Amino acid sequence: MTQVKMTVNGKDASGDVEGRTLLAQFLRDDLGLTGTHIGCDTSQCGACVVHVNGEAVKACTMLAVEADGAEVATIEGQANADGSLNVIQQAFQDHHGLQCGFCTPGMVMSAAALLKENPKPTEADVRHYLDGNICRCTGYHNIVKAIMAASGQDVSAIAAE
């Protein structure tokens, strides 16, 4: 077992892990942060997307030991300090950007990464960026709309509600 220490959502976190322990497992099983979902476990679906040192990564395809010393952000740290939903989360609610919700943590984390590097994406930019986030309920329209709205753009012309 190896001891790992990292910052998760701004707080110090540590634990003893095996070499094979995935970051997703460490977050969920050791830290109890079960908002990071494991969907496919083969790095296709994106339900496990978290940020490591500010970059979106698939937590099911990164070893926990490789996040030693890193700053990790998960869905649990996305809400505002007073507990209210952040802009992206609120936009998902306002625009019905989820149905079953399983993919939503990854969608929100990917959206946050996208808007950080591209604050005013086009609809095509959003769709392209979500290449690695699979949703089996919504058909993506409302997810795309929510992300466009979260970027402060007028979404009234975007079809499907």
Partner 1 sequence: MYNFDVERPSTIQDAVKAMGREEAQPMSGGQTLIPTLKARLAAPSVLVSLTGIDEMKGVCLDDEGRVCIGGATTHATVAREAEAHYPALASLAARIGDPAVRNRGTIGGSIANNDPSACYPAGALGSGATIVTNNREIAADDYFQGMFETALEEGEIVTEVKFPVPTAAHYEKILQPASRFPLVAAFVAKFSDGVRVAITGASNDGVFRWAEAEQALSSNFSPDAVAGLSLDGSNMISDLHGTGAYRAHLCGVMTKRAVAAIG
- Using CB under 8 A as the criterion, which residues of the chain lie in contact with partner 1 when the complex forms? 2, 18-20, 22, 41-43, 46, 49, 55-58, 61-63, 65-66, 68, 110, 113-114, 129, 131-133
Least Å distance between CB 128 and partner 1? 9
Report the residue number, 42 or 156, with the smaller CB distance to partner 1.
42
- Structure tokens, 152: 């402060």
Report the residue number, 62 or 155, with the smaller CB distance to partner 1.
62
CA 157, CA 53: separation in Å to the nearest integer?
Answer: 36
CA 67, CA 54: separation in Å to the nearest integer?
Answer: 12
Least Å distance between CB 66 and partner 1? 6
Least Å distance between CB 160 and partner 1? 22
Report the residue number, 94 or 125, with the smaller CB distance to partner 1.
125
Least Å distance between CB 132 and partner 1? 3
Report the residue number, 33 or 63, with the smaller CB distance to partner 1.
63
Task: State whether residue 76 is helix, strand or coil.
Answer: helix
Nearest CA to 60 out of 82, 77, 45 is that of 45
| Pairing status of strand 55-58 against strand 2-8 | unpaired
Cβ pair 69, 39 in contact under 8 A: no
